[in-house]
Structure 1
Amino acid sequence: MLDLASLTELLSQPRKIVITTHHKPDGDAMGSSLGLYNFLIQLGHHAKVVTPTDYPEFLAWMPGNEEVIIYTENKDLSARLIADAGIIFCLDFNALGRINEMGALVGESKAIKVMIDHHLEPEDFDDYRHWDINACAAAQLVYTFIANQLNQKQYINKDVATCLYTGIMTDSASFRLPNTTATVHRIVADLIDAGANNSRIHELIYSSSSENRLRFLGHCLANCLEILPEYNTAIITVSKSDIARFDVNTGDTEGIVNYALSIANVHLAAFVVERTDRVKLSLRSKGEFPANEICKKYFEGGGHRNAAGGQSDESLEATVAKLKSILPQYKTLLLQ
């Protein structure tokens, strides 16, 4: 593994740098990526953010977004940037499979690979790792990478702060999750001092829904929500026809699972959606219940204890039936 002194020396001279993150990037993925991008360009680096796929429109306002390259929309340019890079930063993911087709390109690249992440069980594809499973967001780790490891906090300007605040806010569910520690709040205070407009950021993320998304949310809660009181579990099941009916776009399903988890006495919530190629699951839990264990053992996924995701090649109905069949194994935990 590369040591910090060697990485610091590499970053002391302008380099060709690619920053990438997981497919279907969320607020933390884009916030951490663009936060790092806005830091690196101040140092004279030739940096580009390359995402494996598109991402929600409500994230497109962040500083530097106009420079983002989407791999699925520009494969040739993306491949050239990855091949030419001297350093590749891998943010908010720890396995090359999480960046889809780009995984092979990054894996074959001769570039120094830097992982900044907070997920369990990282793969050994990186040369330098800033990793902490207790961090509430990758954006928190980008902050500590800049401020503490590189000792360059003075470069956390308004643009950097705005992006990192967005990442921390979204991945902590607006600072509600247990890993939103006093340290996190002190970091957030620093970001506000550096120029992050907290109320405006919240408005841009959470108060910019389309009419279709709001009607889709209403449909999910009124017609797709099933409560299993014997297991303190709620499941929202969405079919391809639902997706087509409400013209659901990237990001429109984000956060819907949290409405199910907000129900009193619900300790596990699942959002199960039928996509074109497979069924996707998003699980959220309260307390000590291991949502990530269910995703890892049964649905080819993983994540954090209280927030995890998975997938299934079975039908929507079979996937939901499988999920329900697993619940008896966890009944004691769910009823605590």
Structure 2
Amino acid sequence: MNIYQQITTEILNASHIVITSHKSPDGDSIGSSLGLLRFIEKLGKKAVICHPDVAPEFLSWLDSSAILLMTDQPAEVTAAFQQADLIFCLDYNGTDRIGADMQVLLEAATCQTIMIDHHLDPQDFPTLAVSDTTASSTAQLIVELIVESGHRDLLDEHIGTPLYLGILTDTGSFRFPSVQARTHELLAMLLSAGVKHHLIHEVLNDNNTASRLRLQGFAMSEKLEIMEDYHVAIIPLSKEELERYQYQKGDTDNLANLALSIKGMKAAIVFSERDGMIKISFRSKGQENPVNVLAAEHFDGGGHANAAGGMSELSVTETLEKIKGLIPSYFSN
């Protein structure tokens, strides 16, 4: 019995299944959660998704009515954890990634926990784990679960659409080095199952608001700084600047990739003042320019070699100076 068959057995033996993912959800965490939920339901079992907070508006086209939010429904989330006899931990490798309130619930749980994740340096907290750092996304691993457990015949458009979304968004539309031949093999299976990939691209890319585009234009024209000697682009945004352009969650998500697209750039760093702290996105190109180490060593963060996140409790100006002071140590000129 392979590990995916073992996981399916655990699903079939469980009565109260909870699916969790990390704080500040993205396409992969939402996509893998919904894909797994729909697979579980296809197996004839019931489950509930519990997330720490709401997803960005650009993912609102997904049917997320099955997702309970700790921020909005704490009593329901608490009850789900207390009743659970199986908890899935998707797209995170440490209990601190799901927010303090849900972390308490997870660490107090005595039932089976299954981690499915692709991030580096996983903590040893789950009962069972699929931790594959070579996978493009957690959504890819959920497709692997369905296929390798012998249930490929259950794949359909309903299950496959959020999983395609997760792979699409976590690979930068299939541009990152994490995309391998196996990724495309699994994508082909999703298309064969009825997933309409062109519609997913449309709803993701053709949903800009005027304020979002104005914010991005302001960021690129007025806030962009380029450290030419090190080929690093930096964009700092203050709380006041975000408010000026009616910032909504997700409005700055593409800025780092946009800055990285500038000819000659090795890395891009975008940070903004939100929720009482500075939130930082790091992006880079090539194995020789990892950003996860910089994020982990100086900004209480981490992630993939070419895509990481972090935070700072300094001011915008102080954070900018700190980053500019660190760049020479991490990027050659």
Common fold: TM-score over 0.5: yes
- For the structure 1 residues 223 and 17, does the alpha-carbon distance in structure 2 shift closer, same or farther, using more than 3 Å as the test? same
Secondary structure at the aligned position of 1:65 is classed as coil
Alignment partner, residue 57 of structure 2: 57
Q: TM-score, normalised by structure 2?
A: 0.96
- C-alpha distance in structure 2 between counterparts of 1:54 and 1:301, whole Å: 21
Q: Is the 8 A contact 2:12 2:45 kept in 1?
A: no
- The residue that corresponds to 2:221 in the other structure is 222
Partner residue of 1:283? 282
1:7–1:35 distance in 2 versus 1, CA, 3 Å: closer
- Paired residue secondary structure (1:12): helix
C-alpha distance 217-244 of structure 1, shift in aligned 2 (>3 A): same
Match of 2:42 in 1: 42
2:165 alignment counterpart: 166
Q: How far 1:261 sits from its partner (Å)?
A: 0.3
Contact 1:131/1:141 (8 A) holds in 2: no
Aligned to 1:144: 144
Aligned residue for 1:16?
A: 16
Cα distance in 1 for partners of 2:6, 2:145 equals 14
1:68 and 2:67 matched: yes
Question: Contact between 1:116 and 1:130, CA under 8 Å: does it hold in 2?
Answer: yes
Task: Give yes or no for the alignment of 1:317 onto 2:312.
Answer: no
Residue 3 of structure 1 and its aligned partner are, at CA, apart by 6.3
Q: SS of the counterpart of 1:309?
A: strand
What displacement does 1:279 show? Answer: 0.6
Alpha-carbon contact 1:130-1:145 (below 8 Å) kept: no
Shift of 1:12: 2.3
> 1 CA distance for matches of 2:321 and 2:168?
34
Query: What is the identity, as a one-letter code, of the residue corresponding to 1:194?
Result: A
The verdict on how the C-alpha distance between 1:200 and 1:4 changes in structure 2, with shifts beyond 3 A counting, is closer
Partner of 2:25 in structure 1? Answer: 25
TM-superposed CA distance for 1:145, in Å, is 1.4
Over the aligned positions, Cα root-mean-square deviation in angstroms equals 1.4
| Alignment partners' CA distance in 2, 1:168 and 1:282 | 19
The whole-number CA distance in structure 2 between the counterparts of 1:304 and 1:311 is 16
2:211 is aligned with what amino acid?
A: N
1:85-126 Cα shifts (integer Å, max 9, x gaps) = 111111110111110021110111112111010001111110
* Percent identity between the two aligned chains: 37
Distance 2:147 2:152 in 1: 4
**Counterpart position of 1:197:** 196
Q: Secondary structure at the match of 1:202?
A: helix
**How far off is 1:255 after superposition?**
1.5
Letter in 2 for 1:116: I
3-state SS in 2 of match to 1:283: strand
Indicate conservation of the 8 Å contact 1:14/1:46, yes or no: no
Contact 1:240 1:276 survives alignment (8 Å): no
Q: Secondary structure at the match of 1:167?
A: helix
- Please give the alpha-carbon distance, in whole angstroms, between the structure 2 residues aligned to 1:265 and 1:241: 31
**Post-superposition offset of 1:6:** 5.1
Q: Which amino acid aligns with 1:212?
A: S
Q: Are the aligned partners of 1:161 and 1:191 in contact in 2 as well (CA < 8 Å)?
A: yes
1:92 aligns with 2:86: no
